[in-house]
Amino acid sequence: MTLTLPTPATPLRIGTRGSPLALAQAHETRDRLAAAFDLPQEAFEVVAIKTTGDNRKMIDADRPLKEIGGKGLFVREIEAALLTGGIDIAVHSMKDMPVVQPEGLLLDCYLPREDPRDAFVSPHVTRLPDLPAGAVVGTSSLRRRAQLLVRRPDLKVVEFRGNVQTRLRKLEDGVAVATFLAMAGLNRLGMAGVAQSAVATEDMLPAVAQGAIGIERRADDHRVAGMLEAIHDAPTARLLAAERAFLAALDGSCETPIGGLAEREGGTLRLRGEILRPDGSEQLSDEATAPVEDGAEMGRAMGAQLLARAGAGFFDFKA
């Protein structure tokens, strides 16, 4: 099938949030598509969409995300624009995406994964173990909160939302002495030097799909499907198939502290996963290997096993 390619007069519209990181991810997507089809940047239009989660007048930045609607706050308007034809594709951080998409939308294109590790960020302390007793650490992530408290129950963890720049300002203002960001986001912003250190995955498993960019499209848009096929990274897709199947089996959301990471070793996938009580009082983990093509089934099985071990009410415990 011959693709009808976009032009400066009829550009492909790329939807995204308006944060610096979201725009950087949209620009990476644009640049990859432009290179794949030898098109000028003007053949693409990046459309920044203000989501409910980005509206400071409506959202209290100090309230936990789970109390104001969860991570769906950051994708609903973008997906609505995609469904109604206001944009042609939507670019997302995959760690923010639910495991099920709205009817009529598909998420089947991934860019090469960046560094999946967490970054330890502090103007005062070099490494996580060096934090003094009782230190205040800021994070909006239930996963990071629980992982911290497993290792350091003496720490005080406070709510710390906002984009990368906002969180760095909060550190400068003394709201906390340290926080965590994604190494992938810092790398994409050219800000890797902000991290005092990258946290080993043996110490803190990242969020499922952390470091990966996903591109969502309308299921019936065959032109876009053909274009996205040219930039789709199959190795990243295999890793995410295992991780997101693990998350789906746990019915994971922003209200459940879950970590998961798949890594390829030759023709084998190694998957590590964990679930935690929000207050860090209990942590359950598992590890498995399987042939690459069986990654999704391995993820589902691991999620089911951890859920069975946890029993009813594991995630209901209040921090």
Mean pLDDT over 167-173 rounds to 93
Higher pLDDT, 287 or 50: 287
DSSP H or E run through 48 = strand 44-48
| DSSP symbols for 244-310 | HHHHHHTT--TTS-EEEEEEEETTEEEEEEEEE-TTSS-EEEEEEEEEGGGHHHHHHHHHHHHHHHH
* Helix residue ranges, H only, the chain: 20-37, 76-83, 142-151, 164-172, 183-188, 222-229, 234-249, 295-310
37 and 125 in a single domain? The answer is: no
Residue 203 resides in a domain = no
Which neighbouring-strand residues pair with 182?
118
Per the structure, the complete domain to which residue 223 belongs is given by 12-112+212-232
Residue 34 resides in a domain = yes
Quote the pLDDT of residue 222: 96
Domain count, the chain: 3
Residue 123 resides in a domain = yes
pLDDT digits (tens, 9 = 90+) for 249-260: 997 655 689 999
pLDDT digits (tens, 9 = 90+) for 67-105: 444 556 678 899 999 999 999 999 999 998 999 999 999
Taking each helix axis as running N to C, give the angle between helix 20-37 and helix 164-172, from 0 to 180 degrees, rounded to the nearest 10: 150
Q: What percent of the chain has pLDDT over 90?
A: 81
Distance of CA 76 to the CA centre of its chain: 16
95 and 221 in a single domain? The answer is: yes
78 and 22 in a single domain? The answer is: yes
40 and 183 in a single domain? The answer is: no
Residue 207 resides in a domain = no
- Identify the CATH number of the domain in which residue 281 sits: 3.30.160.40
Residue 303 resides in a domain = yes
Quote the pLDDT of residue 60: 47
What's the pLDDT band for 58 if we cut at 50, 70, 90? Answer: very low
Residue 104 resides in a domain = yes
- Identify the CATH number of the domain in which residue 60 sits: 3.40.190.10
Sign of the CA dihedral running 183, 74, 208, 151: positive
Quote the pLDDT of residue 174: 92
CB proximity list for 1: less than 8 A, separation 6 or greater? 222, 226
20 and 88 in a single domain? The answer is: yes
20 and 102 in a single domain? The answer is: yes
Distance CA 165, CA 69 (A): 23
Structure-token pair, residue 44: 């693409």
16 and 124 in a single domain? The answer is: no
Quote the pLDDT of residue 47: 98
Q: Considering only 50-54, 128-132, 145-149, 262-266, which range has the smallest mean pLDDT?
A: 50-54
108 and 216 in a single domain? The answer is: yes
- Between vectors from CA 32 to CA 29 and to CA 33, what angle results, nearest 5°? 85
149 and 292 in a single domain? The answer is: no
Which neighbouring-strand residues pair with 260?
273
142 and 27 in a single domain? The answer is: no
pLDDT digits (tens, 9 = 90+) for 105-133: 999 999 999 999 999 999 989 998 999 99
pLDDT digits (tens, 9 = 90+) for 288-311: 999 999 999 999 999 999 999 998
Catalytic residues: 96
Residue 7 resides in a domain = no
256 and 192 in a single domain? The answer is: no
Mean pLDDT of the chain: 91
Residue 145 resides in a domain = yes
Instruction: Report if pTM > 0.75.
Output: yes
105 and 40 in a single domain? The answer is: yes
